[in-house]
């Protein structure tokens, strides 16, 4: 066992760090004030081969693993979690295609993603957030035709305003509950698919979200991703792979909080000395630093397990919940260290707080992650196995 990155991974980290500082950071305030998809940053990150890392080399992709994906996301999130999420969310589609796509689907859609298109993963509905089994969107096989007809509504779908195609979860055999759910690839231009207006939100402004309305949307049988009625299991497998990515967003944000807090606490003086020398402030910074190391280790472990072909559900839940909760706490404490200066919009501290909150909500809330942990632990013969 060792805790060192390979030479290649270290170089990737440095490239991502330089990109975050030189390309992303100067644009952060603009995208926070004027929400829009960061197309220029996306294009440059794609050219630098910092995106789509898990697409196999056989399809002209980088052919790397989830750990490398996590390393890059951590660095980009240091600058802005919203921009990082926006440019990296194709990872969900890539995971689904890797897990269940046939050779034609993989070749066709991987090439489109590598060429710069976006795909949205559409699961959430008005009555089904964390409870995926409660979705109401349906996909009915048309009698005498080789098509499915989709009807329903999806909400809060990230990158939907700019996506070229969607992965949409729908019930194909409603009477079977979660065993009757399937996943479909649906082109944006398909008649009956309507993308609603951009939703306003608290933070992560560069990641645009919108609702999707499906009104008698007809898709060919080839739109089915994986076997019929296997969509629920597939979605859970995708989330196992995406949660380490979201955890990495949190790690990057915590690192930024630590860097900002340290820099300010060394410069700001009170009662004749830098405030970092006051125990109340020093302890806050120590807690942020300690929790950062724990979050990073959990995140890297969850990615490594998946890359090693091992079951990663429990570790992904650990990483996602801990990193998200720690990010929120770190942002809150950093603002407290800055005091009134941090509350103003001329510094990035209040933005860190706004961005951090969403990490506790999407890709499964922190409460849902704990339910996943409980279920996994309850099925073990020993807590040490």
Cβ pair 358, 80 in contact under 8 A: no
Token duo for residue 303: 């990615």
Residues sharing a CB contact under 8 Å with residue 286, sequence separation 6 or more, in sequence order:
none
- Which residue, chain included where needed, has tokens 């992904």? 316
Residues 76-96, buried b or exposed e (16+ Cβ, 10 A)? bbbbbbbbbbbbbbbbbbbbb
Residues sharing a CB contact under 8 Å with residue 37, sequence separation 6 or more, in sequence order:
86, 118, 159, 161, 162, 206, 208
Residues 201-231, buried b or exposed e (16+ Cβ, 10 A)? bebbbbbbbbbbbbeebebeeebbbbebbbb
C-alpha distances in Å from residue 181, one per residue of 129, 157, 201, 267, 318: 15, 19, 30, 56, 27
Cβ pair 158, 207 in contact under 8 A: yes
Length, in residues, of the chain: 385
C-alpha distances in Å from residue 215, one per residue of 132, 137, 148, 347: 21, 10, 12, 45
Cα separation, 189 vs 171, in Å, equals 22
Token duo for residue 377: 């632990």
Residue 363 is a catalytic residue: yes
DSSP-derived 3-state class of residue 149: strand
Looking at 68, 125, 260, 363, which residue is catalytic? 363
Token duo for residue 1: 């066992």
Cα separation, 118 vs 10, in Å, equals 28
Which residues are annotated as catalytic? 363
């Amino acid at each position: 066992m060792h805790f060192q990155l390979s030479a290649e991974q270290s170089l990737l980290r440095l490239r991502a760090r330089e990109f975050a500082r030189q390309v992303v950071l100067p644009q952060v305030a603009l995208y926070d004030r004027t929400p829009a998809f960061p197309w220029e940053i996306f294009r440059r990150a794609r050219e630098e081969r910092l995106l789509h890392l898990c697409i196999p080399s056989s399809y002209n992709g980088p052919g790397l693993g989830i750990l490398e994906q996590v390393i890059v996301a951590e660095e980009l999130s240091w600058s802005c979690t919203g921009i990082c999420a926006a440019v990296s969310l194709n990872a969900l589609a890539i995971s689904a295609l890797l897990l269940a796509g046939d050779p034609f689907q993989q070749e066709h859609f991987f090439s489109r993603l590598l060429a710069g298109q976006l795909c949205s993963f559409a699961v959430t509905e008005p009555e089904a957030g964390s409870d995926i089994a409660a979705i109401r969107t349906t996909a009915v096989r048309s009698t005498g035709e080789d098509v499915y007809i989709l009807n329903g509504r999806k909400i809060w779908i990230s990158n939907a305003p700019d996506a070229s195609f969607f992965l949409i979860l729908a019930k194909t055999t409603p009477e079977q509950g979660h065993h009757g759910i399937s996943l479909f690839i649906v082109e944006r231009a398909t008649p009956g698919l309507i993308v609603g207006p951009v939703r306003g939100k608290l933070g992560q402004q560069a990641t645009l979200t919108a609702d999707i309305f499906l009104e008698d949307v007809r898709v060919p049988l080839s739109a089915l991703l994986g076997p019929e009625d296997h969509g629920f299991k597939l979605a859970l497998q995708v989330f196992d792979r995406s949660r380490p990515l979201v955890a990495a967003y949190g790690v990057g944000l915590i690192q930024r909080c630590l860097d900002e807090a340290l820099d300010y606490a060394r410069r700001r003086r009170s009662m004749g000395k830098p405030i970092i020398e006051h125990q109340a402030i020093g302890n806050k910074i120590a807690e942020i630093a300690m929790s950062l190391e724990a979050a990073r280790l959990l995140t890297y472990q969850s990615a490594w397990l998946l890359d090693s072909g091992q079951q990663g559900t429990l570790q992904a839940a650990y990483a996602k919940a801990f990193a998200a909760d720690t990010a929120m706490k770190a942002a809150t404490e950093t603002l407290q260290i800055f005091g009134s200066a941090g509350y103003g919009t001329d510094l990035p501290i209040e933005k860190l707080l706004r961005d951090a909150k969403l990490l506790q909500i999407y890709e499964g809330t922190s409460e849902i992650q704990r339910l996943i942990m409980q279920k996994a632990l309850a099925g073990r013969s020993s807590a040490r196995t």
